[in-house]
Amino acid sequence: MNAEKLLCSLIETESISGNELDIANFLKDYLHEMGFIAKIDGRNLICEFGKGSKTLLLNSHLDTVPVCPGWTLDPFKAKKIKGRIYGLGSNDAKGCVASMTNAFVSLKEETINGKIILTLTCDEETGGQGLEYLIKKIRKPDAAIVGEPTKLDICIAQKGDMILKINSKGKSAHSSYPEMGINAIYKACNYITSLNGIKFNKKHNVLGFPTIAVTVIKGGLKTNVVPAECEFIVDVRSTPKYNHEELFRMVKSKLKDADVHKHSIRLVPKETKKDELIVRIAKKVLKSRLIGSSTMSDWVFLDCPTIKLGPGNSTMSHQANEHIHTSQLNKAVESYKRIINGFLS
């Protein structure tokens, strides 16, 4: 089964986050047919091949986001149109799964001077029982390739994500006498304006500067009551130039009288040095750009030299009529295969 046919089968096996078991079992059966022994752990698939002291991890994710509005095609029916394959997850990241799996299978008859561990995991879109859980159960890799859509550019750094919860306190009053109260929503608006004034001066070479975005706001009880409380969520995308504690202090200093709470600080930025073997080999194979990524991936759970690499375009992810170019899909199979051979040679 070539990568295109495999991708079509994956698209037609629904795997919205939390429902990955069917697709994991489908791939387990496929790998069994190809002569491998794969196992299911939770809603994850693990398959190992080769022997030796050096280990390379291949990882991508099986889950997709739910269907968004705007689809004009059946999201669960793969359709090929003018060199593109359409369907939910085609780009993020079933194209990577298909090409990575086929590269893995194609090496069966070759002599591999090391071990390849293929993990196709659940819950990447939501967090939960995927690679974060599985990584504790496998041999620590010497390097890793995380399959995400990068247009086959070589991603050597990705931003982290710190989530802050900020509360503004006011005083309730009847809305016909607003001067008798303190409007917590107005205070929140002032805080948000202050956040726009934060300036960063340490620029990362491929990730640029951190970003700050207000993503959720909640306030008010009734139409005729001046709100005494307002809460909003701030999404801070960090770089290795600023740790999360430093960024927290920067936010806190701008909002002196606000209650600022760390809701999540565990998703730290990651980067791999240009001179690491996995980067040098990928660069030699692909002659692609070295890039940074603002989006998260399971790389955050790895503690080894890692690149994020795959067919597809991250800007196409989570969109209606999601698709991937077959030319990239087929090129990815050969590229993964050559990088694996180069690293384990």
Domain ranges of the chain: 3-158+269-343, 160-267
Helices (H), 117-215: 131-134, 184-195
Show Cβ contacts of residue 276 under 8 Å, excluding neighbours closer than 6 positions: 143, 305
Side-chain half-sphere CA neighbours of 25 within 13 A: 8
Report whether CATH 3.40.50.2300 matches the domain 3-158+269-343: no
Helix (H), strand (E) counts: the chain: 8, 17
pTM of the model: 0.93
- The fold of 160-267 is Alpha-Beta Plaits (3.30.70)
Strand partners, 307: 145
Which residues in the chain land under pLDDT 70?
Answer: none
CA–CA distances in Å: residue 88 to residues 61, 76, 91, 127, 174: 13, 6, 8, 19, 49
What integer pLDDT is reported at residue 193 of this predicted model?
95
What integer pLDDT is reported at residue 256 of this predicted model?
83
- Tens digits of residue pLDDT in 79-115: 999 999 999 999 999 999 999 999 999 998 888 899 9
User: Residues, the chain, total?
Assistant: 345
What are the start-end ranges of the E strands in 170-221? 173-174, 211-219
Q: What is the 3-state secondary structure (H, E, C) of 94-111?
A: HHHHHHHHHHHHHCCCCC
- Tens digits of residue pLDDT in 189-245: 999 999 998 999 999 999 999 999 999 999 999 999 999 999 999 999 999 999 999
